[in-house]
């Protein structure tokens, strides 16, 4: 049984960055090295060329998210790594694509997300979740970070060592998960896509969270599902210069890696993998479980764990494992409870690992709380 490192930091963005960097310094350095090696292997780019490309993203972060730039500077000081290395972690997908000029871009096959509440849940509460599907080495760098900043809501984040954000929730009851979508027009300059989640988590409603992401220039396309404890579910399909927002229906919202907004239909050919995962997760919610004969009923966290362990339609399953032509696996499974302000997290493929529950509740006291589940 293995749980993720759980760290707490408070204060200004710079102080939070320094504290997190100090606590995670060895993992941050290994994480940088892993991405330099991976991008070099995939593209043939030299370490110097990789870092030079990453450096281009400094100005967009400074300009459009100064609090994140301050946190990044603190992180560099605490972890004792050059800030250019940390820029690579923030913009790893953008840097990889910039150097992948001689090879076709692989299909979008990463992550499946949901938000659910109201009549569908056992307590009427709001939950969200994501199976994060990435290259397998990412699993070893996963961390849970709890932040109590002086100028924004406290947050509980899943991310990887040195990356400022991926998914999570805040004390205002806003939850965010983000996954891959492609922009047929390509990628370019702007804020790295992973940092959009942090902009959203500074807001106190789902509507404001989406607006925060629409207000900045984006370097890459990103799908961001946002829910709040009031029961608002939104999915923002963010291309570089265009966007569309889907709303939940009948207390449910599900998304994978293909564009679903009417305005974007015809822009791409969805992958079989994404279509299968999206349809299967919707089916599980409608049937309440893998057994189609099981009577529908209110859902709880145990159901969501079971859904994310599902292997129907393998190899195009919710619990993802590598197969020929797709070196991708579920590196973490995250389920958020916006009423309790907790994250249930399984490191690696959830079919083989237990979930642990991480709490935001004691954030202001600095105490850390982790409870193991099945």
| CATH code, domain with 34 | 1.10.10.2120
CATH of the domain at 151: 3.60.60.10
Residue 107 lies in a domain: no
Residue 104 lies in a domain: no
Our CA dihedral for 20, 22, 24, 27, rounded to 10 degrees, sits at: 140
Q: Do residues 92 and 182 both lie within one domain?
A: no
CA angle 255, 257, 87 (to 5 degrees): 110
Distance (Å, rounded) from C-alpha 370 to C-alpha 5? Answer: 10
Q: Do residues 158 and 197 both lie within one domain?
A: yes
Q: Do residues 40 and 141 both lie within one domain?
A: no
Q: Which H or E element spans position 38?
A: helix 25-43
Q: Is the pLDDT of residue 366 over 60?
A: no
Q: Do residues 90 and 185 both lie within one domain?
A: no
What residues have CB less than 8 Å from 269, skipping those under 6 apart?
A: none
Q: At what angle do helices 66-79 and 13-23 cross, to 10 degrees?
A: 30
The helix/strand/coil state of 145 is strand
Residue 232 lies in a domain: yes
- Check if the beta carbon of residue 204 is closer than 8 Å to that of residue 153: yes
Boundary-marking domain end, from 42, 76, 99: 99
Q: Do residues 214 and 323 both lie within one domain?
A: yes
Residue 44 lies in a domain: yes
Domain count, the chain: 2
Q: Do residues 72 and 212 both lie within one domain?
A: no
Residue written as tokens 């060329």? 49
List, for residues 330-363, the tens digit of each pLDDT value.
Answer: 999 999 999 999 999 999 999 999 999 999 986 5
Q: What is the pLDDT of residue 290?
A: 40
CA angle 352, 336, 73 (to 5 degrees): 95
Would you say the pTM of this structure is higher than 0.75? yes
48: containing domain: 6-99
For residue 291, name the pLDDT band (cuts at 50, 70, 90): very low
For residue 19, name the pLDDT band (cuts at 50, 70, 90): very high
91's tokens = 């913009």
List, for residues 169-179, the tens digit of each pLDDT value.
Answer: 999 999 999 99
Please classify residue 205 by burial: count the beta carbons closer than 10 Å to its beta carbon, then call 0-12 exposed, 13-18 middle and 19+ buried. middle
Q: Do residues 162 and 273 both lie within one domain?
A: yes
| Mean pLDDT, residues 175-189 taken together | 89
Residue 259 lies in a domain: yes
Q: Do residues 93 and 116 both lie within one domain?
A: no
* Per-position DSSP letters for 175-212, written without gaps between them: EEEEE----TT---SSB-GGGHHHHHTTSSSHHHHHHH
- Check if the beta carbon of residue 193 is closer than 8 Å to that of residue 93: yes
DSSP 8-state symbol, 326? B
Q: Is the pLDDT of residue 365 over 70?
A: no
List, for residues 63-86, the tens digit of each pLDDT value.
Answer: 999 999 999 999 999 999 999 999
Mean pLDDT, the chain, integer: 91
Residue 349 lies in a domain: yes
Residue 33 lies in a domain: yes
């Amino acid at each position: 049984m293995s749980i993720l490192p759980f760290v707490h930091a408070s204060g200004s963005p710079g102080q939070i960055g320094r504290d997190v960097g100090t606590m995670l310094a060895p993992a941050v350095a290994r994480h940088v090295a892993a991405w330099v090696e991976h991008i070099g292997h995939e593209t043939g780019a030299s370490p110097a060329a990789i870092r030079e490309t990453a450096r281009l993203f400094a100005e967009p972060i400074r300009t459009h998210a100064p609090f994140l730039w301050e946190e990044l500077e603190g992180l560099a000081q605490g972890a004792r790594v050059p800030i250019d290395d940390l820029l690579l972690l923030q913009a790893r997908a953008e840097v990889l694509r910039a150097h992948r000029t001689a090879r076709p871009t692989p299909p979008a096959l990463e992550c499946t997300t949901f938000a659910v509440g109201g009549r569908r849940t056992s307590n009427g509460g709001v939950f969200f979740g994501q199976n994060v599907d990435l290259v397998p080495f990412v699993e070893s760098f996963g961390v849970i970070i709890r932040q109590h900043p002086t100028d924004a809501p406290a947050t509980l984040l899943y991310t990887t060592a040195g990356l400022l954000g991926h998914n999570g929730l805040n004390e205002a009851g806003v939850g965010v998960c983000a996954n891959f979508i492609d922009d047929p027009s390509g990628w370019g300059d702007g804020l790295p896509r992973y940092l959009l989640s942090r902009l959203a988590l500074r807001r106190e409603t789902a509507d404001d969270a989406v607006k925060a992401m629409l207000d900045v220039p984006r370097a890459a396309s990103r799908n961001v599902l946002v829910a709040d404890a009031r029961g608002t579910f939104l999915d923002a399909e963010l291309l570089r210069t265009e966007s569309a927002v889907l709303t939940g229906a009948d207390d449910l919202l599900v998304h994978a890696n293909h564009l679903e907004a009417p305005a974007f239909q015809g822009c791409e050919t969805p992958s079989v993998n994404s279509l299968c995962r999206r349809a299967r997760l919707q089916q599980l919610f409608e049937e309440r479980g893998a057994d189609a004969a099981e009577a529908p009923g209110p859902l709880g966290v145990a159901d969501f764990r079971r859904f994310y362990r599902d292997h129907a339609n393998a190899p195009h399953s919710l619990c993802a494992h590598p197969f020929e032509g797709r070196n991708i696996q579920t590196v973490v499974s995250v389920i958020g409870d916006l009423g309790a302000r907790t994250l249930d997290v399984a490191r690696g493929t959830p079919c083989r690992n237990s979930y642990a529950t991480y709490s935001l509740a004691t954030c202001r006291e600095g105490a850390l709380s982790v409870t193991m589940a099945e």
